[in-house]
Structure 1
Amino acid sequence: METEGVFQSLPALPLFLLMFSIIYLIAYFIVFRNWSPSIRPEASSCLISLSHGTPAVFLATRAILAGQNRGFAASNTVFQNLVLDYSIAYFLMDLLHYLMFFPSDLIFIGHHSATLFVFLTCRYVVSHGAFAILFLLILAELTSACQNAWTLANARKGDVEFAAKLYDFLSPPFYALYSIVRGFAGPYFVYEMLVFFMTGVADHVIPRWVWISWIGVVLMAISVSILWVSNLWLELYRERTKKLEKKMR
């Protein structure tokens, strides 16, 4: 109870936002200072993503397991709200990154805006449903470390031999894990959420317009993810086919 009181007294969201801002600036001006200006912003975004993704999986898992009520419409615990603030701060920082450097990337801007809507309504509007939202966060961030390493390797594969080898090595397992999580585990969990909310038992704590919007946002995110990884599989197939044809000549 004393720990929860400390958490409640801390201005968590501004502190987390400051933390991710500092990490981004360190990445841009120190860690990746010798990288090409065209890829430094993307690399800096990857570093804050790494700082958020894997820790978020462990934090969200702890927040879920520590809560006594794990229903889809259960009230948020203090620690669950803290984890939501942690993720809200990351997505706000990364959204600012896209608005500054890639304002025409409407897919990512839309994705981050929609994700923020879900987190913010869960945290500050209804104060219920964190169990479901954090479980989805775990599924979304399970591939974070691998994806960011793959993205950084992809950015430098044209001029660094190690990066090219790392990219080739990571691509198949990353695509496979991403496909399983986003193509099977995610949709199944959303289906369970939909079945529960359609009974109407949660309408008194999570209004219908809120949970319908949550389901809609998650389904759109999953659809885009499946389309993205499908294109990556096709690209990988083409690359491997070309290499095989060259060897056979």
Structure 2
Amino acid sequence: MQFTTPQLPLFFTMFFTIYIIAHFIIFRNWSPKLRPEAASCLISLAHGTPATILATIAIFSDPTQQFASLNTQFQNSVLEYSIAYFLMDLCHYLTFYPKDVLFISHHLATLFVFVTCRYLALHGAYPVLVLLALAEVTSLFQNLWTLAGARKGDSEVAHQVFDLMSVPFYVVYSFVRGFIAPFFVYKMIGFYSSGVADNVVPKWLWVSWICVVVLAISVSVLWVSGNWVEWYRVRMVRIEKEKKIR
């Protein structure tokens, strides 16, 4: 199972087309303020779960499964698939939310890892794709949760879906980003710091990768922690209101 490369222009065109269709057709009845975010969620849905599946296949189809293995053709194609998505979503943020420095920085840093792994090092796709799969495994829940949250103010159904999804989503997200991902990064640091891969993945490069990943995980943990705090605050307010009614 292999793709022909380079397919980056093809993948980018696909995500661009999905974005345009989402913005002008699927979510045309949404308010202009919400349409860009909804369109971004749709291309994220088109990327997240497929990327997780493709990355998993690419990982297990490689018999070596080493942190510094030569990238396979299929692994490179999966990297290009994700590069195309992050480029498209970066264009979205630069167009509609140019002051959102956090997300723009996140996308640029992620692109740095994917691009250097695909086009510069040509090695190390195994750990990068493992981290991609871990990052995107919650994508489906997160995007549905985000869409419901965007409409919860004017739709009771969306409000109920948002409330119903919040706790399960936070639990899974916290476990993946707070435990599994840090453990894998710990193993990654142990391997690269031994110096055995310096001839194929230069020290400056793997250190850069680690810094980006650690920062991304830290921001994710802070983000979900803030959501837990907000969920607890809202729950306490509801409990107090119910007590007053009784």
Within-5 A mapping of 1:64-83:
64-83=59-78
Three-state SS of the structure 2 residue aligned to 1:204 is coil
From 155, 167, 192, the equivalent of 1:160 is: 155
The residue that corresponds to 1:138 in the other structure is: 133
Give the C-alpha shift of residue 100 in structure 1: 0.2
Give the C-alpha shift of residue 47 in structure 1: 0.0
In 1, Cα distance between equivalents of 2:181 and 2:218 = 10
1:148 aligns with 2:146: no
1:170 aligns with 2:165: yes
State the AA in 2 paired with 1:240.
R
Three-state SS of the structure 2 residue aligned to 1:56 is helix
Consecutive unaligned residues in structure 2, runs of 5 or more: none
From 77, 88, 91, the equivalent of 1:93 is: 88
Moved over 6 A (4+): none
Three-state SS of the structure 1 residue aligned to 2:182 is helix
Q: Name the TM-score, length of structure 1 as normaliser.
A: 0.97
The residue that corresponds to 1:223 in the other structure is: 218
From 25, 43, 47, the equivalent of 1:48 is: 43
State the AA in 1 paired with 2:40.
S
State the AA in 1 paired with 2:17.
I
In 2, Cα distance between equivalents of 1:57 and 1:11 = 20
State the AA in 2 paired with 1:48.
I
Give the C-alpha shift of residue 68 in structure 1: 1.4
Q: Name the TM-score, length of structure 2 as normaliser.
A: 0.98
Give the C-alpha shift of residue 11 in structure 1: 3.2
State the AA in 1 paired with 2:208.
S
Consecutive unaligned residues in structure 1, runs of 5 or more: none
In 2, Cα distance between equivalents of 1:40 and 1:192 = 41
The residue that corresponds to 2:227 in the other structure is: 232
User: Alignment length, in residue pairs?
Assistant: 244
User: Deviations 1:164-196 (Å, cap 9, x if unpaired)?
Assistant: 000000000000000000000111000000000
In 2, Cα distance between equivalents of 1:58 and 1:140 = 12
The CA RMSD measured in Å over matched residues stands at 0.7
User: Deviations 1:81-100 (Å, cap 9, x if unpaired)?
Assistant: 00000000000000000000
Three-state SS of the structure 1 residue aligned to 2:63 is coil
Give the C-alpha shift of residue 148 in structure 1: 0.1
From 34, 41, 44, the equivalent of 1:39 is: 34
State the AA in 2 paired with 1:73.
A
